[in-house]
Amino acid sequence: MAMTKIDEEALAEAYNRALALEKAGNIDAAVEAYREVLEIDPEDHGGAAVRIASMGRGETPPKAPDAYVETLFDQHAESFEDILVAQLGYEVPTLLLQRLQELQLGPFKRMLDLGCGTGLTGGTLRDLAEDITGIDLSENMVEIAHEKDLYETLYVAEVEDFLEDNDEDAFDLITATDVLPYLGALEPLFFGAAENMVAGGLFAFSSEELAASDGRPFAVGPHQRFVHSEAYIRSRLAETGFEVIDITEINVRMQEGKPSPGHLVIAKLKG
């Protein structure tokens, strides 16, 4: 596939102009500038499509563009843990470990850590699983995870693609902490998890909450992260063969000093 050459200068100019207009509250002009960005860079490394959606314009995309997610995490890989844990107060892996222990779930033979990043969840749950496979779209993240020697196997891949193509042995625990904020429509993820799991296996993930009063199944929130309604999550889990074991209300992370309310979900694949 031929790579289209991007005019980096024109892209930077349009993107910076769009950001400035958005910051100034000039939404119409910001949206137009982001559309210019998309014309210059159709793969959308800067996440223009989710920014347009976060301002309530255009269609909500089914997920964040792969090029955007990959670029975002490749750029922040070195400082990722410091930003996420120290600055944003991210504790989802620890909260998950606590819930699994409280519910007396585990140990597990084979765990799949989707969106493994630098290994925060893999490291936290290491003692609960004999064998852990990690998947992340960012090569820089996977390199850092590899250096920690937490995983038996690591892949650089998009999670939905991996779940569709994987022919390794099935897993009895699949985790997706901080994956849903980059996905809108959840059918491919939930169906893929079910296809790669033993009967009775557990699927554990976090999501950021879209208030039921909104009426939509999912949307892009003000921080360019997808938020999902609890009703949508429950219905999609049921449709893909899962029963909910536990849903806990949590603060996913701090954003500009305010909590991001969400859910920690543990579901079981019906036999």
- Among 150, 149, 154, 193, which residue's Cα sits nearest to residue 175? 193
Task: Provide the H-helix boundaries in 157-246.
Answer: 159-165, 187-195, 230-239
Q: What is the mean pLDDT of the chain?
A: 95
* Structure confidence at residue 116 (pLDDT): 98
State yes or no: pLDDT of 1 exceeds 60.
no
Quick one: 128 and 213 in the same domain?
Answer: yes
* Structure confidence at residue 4 (pLDDT): 64
Quick one: 26 and 108 in the same domain?
Answer: no
Question: How many distinct structural domains can be found in the chain?
Answer: 2
Q: From CA 142, how far away is CA 122, in angstroms rounded?
A: 12
Question: What pLDDT, in 10s, does the model give residues 144-173?
Answer: 999 999 999 999 999 999 999 999 899 999
Q: Residues 95, 205: contact at Cβ < 8 Å?
A: no
How far is the CA of 215 from the CAs of 16, 54, 157, 211, 218, in angstroms?
33, 16, 33, 8, 9
Provide the pLDDT confidence category of residue 3 given band limits of 50, 70 and 90.
Answer: low
Provide the domain limits for residue 55.
8-67
Is pTM, for the whole model, over 0.85? yes
State yes or no: pLDDT of 249 exceeds 70.
yes
Looking up residue 113, the CATH number of its domain turns out to be 3.40.50.150
State yes or no: pLDDT of 2 exceeds 50.
no
Average pLDDT over residues 227-250: 98
Q: Is residue 73 part of a domain?
A: no
Question: What pLDDT, in 10s, does the model give residues 5-32?
Answer: 889 999 999 999 999 999 999 999 999 9
Quick one: 124 and 151 in the same domain?
Answer: yes
Distance of CA 224 to the CA centre of its chain: 12
- Among 241, 191, 197, which residue's Cα sits nearest to residue 109? 197
Q: Is residue 214 part of a domain?
A: yes
Task: Show Cβ contacts of residue 26 under 8 Å, excluding neighbours closer than 6 positions.
Answer: none
Write out the two tokens for 41: 């860079």
Quick one: 254 and 213 in the same domain?
Answer: yes
Q: Is residue 90 part of a domain?
A: yes
Question: What pLDDT, in 10s, does the model give residues 169-197?
Answer: 999 999 999 999 999 999 999 999 999 99
Quick one: 56 and 92 in the same domain?
Answer: no
Question: What pLDDT, in 10s, does the model give residues 84-143?
Answer: 988 899 999 999 999 999 999 999 999 999 999 999 999 999 999 999 999 999 999 999
> Does residue 146 or residue 58 have the better pLDDT?
146
Write out the two tokens for 267: 């579901």
Distance of CA 269 to the CA centre of its chain: 21
